[in-house]
């Protein structure tokens, strides 16, 4: 387990593969036509999905390049925010999807990204201090 959070991790290739798959899952989920999205009766379910997508996004990409320097962590957060915001803009710009650009989805993406980074940093710190 220690190797996953180390800058010299032997698992970066596998982590990159999983991060790419996760990113493709985000794209597939976010660009699915609204008519194909299952309806669930859970309050704020859509926001929780966005939160989870982007917490996983930043966490997995950090596993692919496990650096905990503040500038790199801020760059990863910026990439997550930009990716989530771009997705929202595109959802609103493609009328055949039947979706709308929602600011609160981008906020959920951003908070999820921040939590993913925090989890990675905390896990890395805990493992290094063992």
CA distance 18 to 5: 15
The model's pLDDT over 18-53, given as tens digits with 9 standing for 90+, comes to 999 999 999 999 999 988 888 888 888 889 999 999
Statement: residue 110 has pLDDT above 90: yes
Which pLDDT value is given to residue 9?
82
Does some domain include residue 120? yes
The answer to pTM > 0.85 is yes
Per the structure, how many domains does the chain have?
1
Helix (H, G, I), strand (E, B) or coil at 69: coil
Distance of CA 84 to the CA centre of its chain: 8
Residues composing the chain: 130
CA distance 60 to 120: 9
Which pLDDT value is given to residue 19?
97
CA distance 119 to 73: 12
Which pLDDT value is given to residue 120?
93
Does some domain include residue 42? no
Domain range for 91 is 2-33+47-128
State the chain's mean pLDDT as an integer.
Answer: 90
Does some domain include residue 39? no
Return the residue matching tokens 């905390």.
122
């Amino acid at each position: 387990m220690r190797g996953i959070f180390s800058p010299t991790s032997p698992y970066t290739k596998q982590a990159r593969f999983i991060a790419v798959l996760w990113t493709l899952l985000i794209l597939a989920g976010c660009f699915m036509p609204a008519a194909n999205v299952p309806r669930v009766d859970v309050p704020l379910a859509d926001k929780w999905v966005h939160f989870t997508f982007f917490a996983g996004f930043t966490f997995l990409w950090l596993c692919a390049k496990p650096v905990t320097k503040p500038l790199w962590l801020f760059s990863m957060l910026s990439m997550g925010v930009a990716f989530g915001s771009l997705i929202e803009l595109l959802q609103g710009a493609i009328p055949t999807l039947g979706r709308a650009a929602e600011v609160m989805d981008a906020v959920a993406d951003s908070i999820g990204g921040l939590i993913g980074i925090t989890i990675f940093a905390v896990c890395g710190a805990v493992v290094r201090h063992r």
